[in-house]
Amino acid sequence: MTSFEYLGELTCSSGALVIIDSGLLPYWSNSREPKQDPFPVTCQDLEIVGPDARRAGKEFDRQPHPLYLFDIPDVEGMTRFFADFCASRNLQASCRPLARRMAHRKRVDISLDKCSFALVQYVGMWAVAAKVPPGRALTIRGERMPAGEFEGRWHRFLVEVQEGQTLSEQRLDGVMVDNARLLLGDANSLGGHSLDLETSWGDGVFPVVAEMGSEGQALRLRVELGDEQRQEILRELMSRTVDTGATKYDDASWHAGGVFPEGNPQEFGGTHIALFLRWCFCKGWAGPIFDEPEMVEQMASGQISATEFFFRYCDGKLVEEMLSDAGNAFASQYYGDEGLYLDDYAREFGELMYSAPDDAHDFAKFSQMLEGRLQNGALTKPLLETSKVELAGWRASKQVVVTQKRPSQPWWKFW
């Protein structure tokens, strides 16, 4: 029989409960305009307008809300890409910058306008919001993992919202956690009367399930935490890493020969590398060799072509000196010989591989792909039994030597 431990109670006078990473509260703007993004470039919010706005936003499917694109660093690029997307589907819609960025508290309201349970985007991450009876005490309980290797860790948190018979369930991809803690609180006073809980599984994206009643109201919320498979991945990342001494992660010259499309500029062999470097710059992970912040910001914001920057200042090579410690911690896993970056790029942008410049790529989609990997921690392939790595989608293979090394601290502790 399942046994739940009582963890506390809270009330939400606003009628909106928010589940969020408590360590990221400094970036939550409440009712103010967001000003403190953890990015080195200025972001803007875009509104999707036009007769087919809602349909276009749903089919575009880049962010949770179908009528807005929040926290966009490259407004011009996103506007152009969205216009091309709508034209390809004969949709009458476009996106335009808001005069002021939308407060995170307002984002909760618009997310719950037509539903009782939704994802809320803030600083490129997701919180979860749910409608609850205003002023009613919500009981929070926790269920632990059963006997075994992970005995005692939290399996799930349960929020009792109101009584009623469960007729259906709705599942959201989840709340993003980067500080190993979750906070449940009133949308009007996050950080005030709230409940702060340790996940006991570290960071990641934890699914949230709503048990729904007959009138579409949330009766109970379950934050699913226990995940043995994810824990095994994290353990493997802790126990081994690529030795980044004098590491070269990639080189455009490795791609410009062999099956490279005849007649295409050789620079296209470095597009996928340049895009990765740009994303790292957006994260604030530029290495010490780039001592001109203005130049880094221009590349991160798209004012300078990523590929042009890559060949002009990096000689078509991506090496460890170009990234900070945090950048190398990520790249050594995700871009390493056992990493999933090349597979991810081939899967999402295979039609552009070696045949298009960086501005033909949807950088918002590209960033979302990498951010998802960063948050869920699945950066490498399963442990290889041989030293031969097949690069799926790249029609090539190369020999590698896997270096065994125990890092001084887990990779996710760099951010």
The mean per-residue pLDDT over the stretch 211-235 comes to: 78
Please state, rounded to an integer, the average pLDDT across all residues of the chain. 82
> Residue 236: pLDDT above 60?
no
pLDDT for residue 414: 30
pLDDT at 359: 86
Give dist(CA 234, CA 375) in Å, integer: 12
Q: What is the mean pLDDT of residues 36-51?
A: 81
Per-residue pLDDT band at 41 (split at 50, 70, 90): low
Kind and range of the H or E element at 409? none
CA atoms within 13 A on the CB side of 252: 23
Those residues whose C-beta lies under 8 Å from the C-beta of residue 361, and which sit 6 or more positions away, are: 271, 275, 349, 352
pLDDT more than 90, % of the chain: 38
**pLDDT given for residue 373 in this prediction:** 86
Would you call 411 helix, strand, or coil by DSSP? Answer: helix
Alpha-carbon distance 72 to 69, whole Å? 7
How wide is the angle at C-alpha 263 spanned by C-alphas 262 and 266, nearest 5°?
A: 90
In this structure, what token pair is assigned to residue 288? 């010490």
199: confidence class by pLDDT, cuts 50, 70, 90? confident
What is the four-CA torsion angle of 37, 42, 47, 48, rounded to 10 degrees?
A: -110
At 243, the pLDDT band (50, 70, 90 cuts) reads very low
* pLDDT at residue 173 tops 90: no
- What pLDDT is stored for residue 78 in this prediction? 85
Yes or no: say if 219 and 289 are a contact pair by the CB < 8 Å rule: no
Q: What is the DSSP string of 43-95?
A: -EEEEEESTTHHHHHHHH-SSSSTTEEEEES-HHHHHHHHHHHHHHTT---EE
- d(CA 289, CA 295) in angstroms, rounded, equals 12
Paired residues of 195 in beta bridges: 184
The DSSP line for 165-233 is ---EEEEEEEEEESSSEEEEEETTSTTSSEEEEE-SS-SEEEEEEEEE-TTS-EEEEEEE---HHHHHH
How large is the average pLDDT for residues 308-322? 87
Residue located via tokens 């335009």: 96
Residue with the bigger pLDDT between 259 and 254: it is 254
Write the DSSP assignment of 323-389 as a string of letters: B-HHHHHHHHHHTSTTBSHHHHHHHHHGGGTTTS-GGGS-HHHHHHHHHHHHHH---BPSPPSSSEE
Q: Would you give the distance in Å from CA 25 to the centre of its chain?
A: 17
Instruction: Write down the domain spans for the chain.
Output: 5-19+117-226, 233-414
Does the pTM exceed 0.75?
no
**What pLDDT sits at residue 399?**
31
